[in-house]
Amino acid sequence: MSSAMARVFPLMELLRPRQWIKNAFVLVGLVFGHAWRDPAMVTAVILATIGFCLASGAVYAFNDARDAERDREHPDKRERPVARGAVSPGEALLLSAVTATASLVLAAWTGWRAAAIVAAYLGLSAAYTVWLKHIPVLDVAAIAAGFMLRLLAGTLGVGIEPSNWLLACGFLLTLFLGFAKRRAEIGRLEEDAGRHRAVLADYSTGFLDKAITLCAVGMVAAYAWYTLAAETALLHGTGSFALTLPWVLLGTARYLYRLRLRGGGGDPAEELLRDPLLAAAVAGWAATVLWLIG
């Protein structure tokens, strides 16, 4: 491998492209807003999605530059580029700045609303890294808010009216995943949890289990109500949207199984790649949605 390639690979790794699957949230409004038949709208949403991929990469680089010392003591994070010495903290901060700027420029091509939403995401993420991640519950709410901004970028940011149902279900889903992540971290790190992530010292497994259950029940109930609502049938031209509900139940139950019995749940993107049944539930839901409204 050439020296140039040896330098490029750690920098790309720093942006964590495997995590960019989370930015599929930007695309949801395109489908549920029935805007996929408009080529200009499709182009705008794709640009917004790429912008969020770059923005999230910038956030990862910024986090790794700040947390390198602590990451070196973590059983998994010590293999990150800055923690292992493949990239210096200064290089990571420079890459973060360049990538963040590129994300804003790309979003601006879509429109000022999309650019403003990406800017808000970058600001929220910086606040999370510096401050919010140390405050119990607010740390998870900040993560969920980041996903809400993704949904808004693919709706309000490109001129699609966001659905209150979509926002409610999305917020409950991301709260569920956020609390599950904290539960998985405590299970993985045990007595060292607070040393690796300070906020974990303020959580208990009992509280997190209750929060996870609350969010899971709320999410499934809200989605079930959405599938049965008369306005949903009117919007999508079908009264059979409840056919998507079993996939949601399967995916939720499988994620809880991975969390409580298989030591998973720490990273939704990784869980999708590792668990074929969970991936099948997500794919089945997506295919059923497209079949019903397409």
Going from N- to C-terminal start, the domains of the chain cover 11-162, 163-294
Q: What's the confidence (pLDDT) of residue 16? A: 92
Over range 82-101, report the average pLDDT.
Answer: 92
Q: What are the E-state strand segments in the chain?
A: none
C-alpha angle 73/75/78, rounded to 5°?
60
- State the average pLDDT for the chain: 90
Q: Of 44-53, 91-100, 232-241, give the lowest mean pLDDT range.
A: 232-241
- Output phi, psi for 163, to 5 deg: -85, 135
pLDDT of residue 71: 75
Confidence class of residue 193 from pLDDT cuts 50, 70 and 90? low
Instruction: Return the SS3 of 33.
Output: coil
Give the tens place of pLDDT for each residue, 243-278: 999 999 999 999 999 998 888 888 888 898 889 999
- Classify domain 163-294 by CATH number: 1.10.357
Cα separation of 259 and 181, whole Å?
A: 9
Cα gap 143→116, rounded to integer Å:
18
CATH 1.10.357.140 applies to domain 11-162: yes
Nearest-5° Cα angle at 40, 37 to 41: 65
The Cα 46–Cα 49 span in angstroms is: 5
Q: What is the mean pLDDT of residues 20-36?
A: 91
Exposure pattern of 122-155 as b/e (b: 16+ CB <10 Å)? bebbbebbeebbeeebebbebbbbbbbbbbbbbb
pLDDT (average), residues 221-231: 94
How far apart are the C-alpha atoms of 157 and 48, rounded to whole Å? 8
CATH fold match for the domains 11-162 and 163-294:
yes
202-213 pLDDT, tens digit per residue, is 899 999 999 999
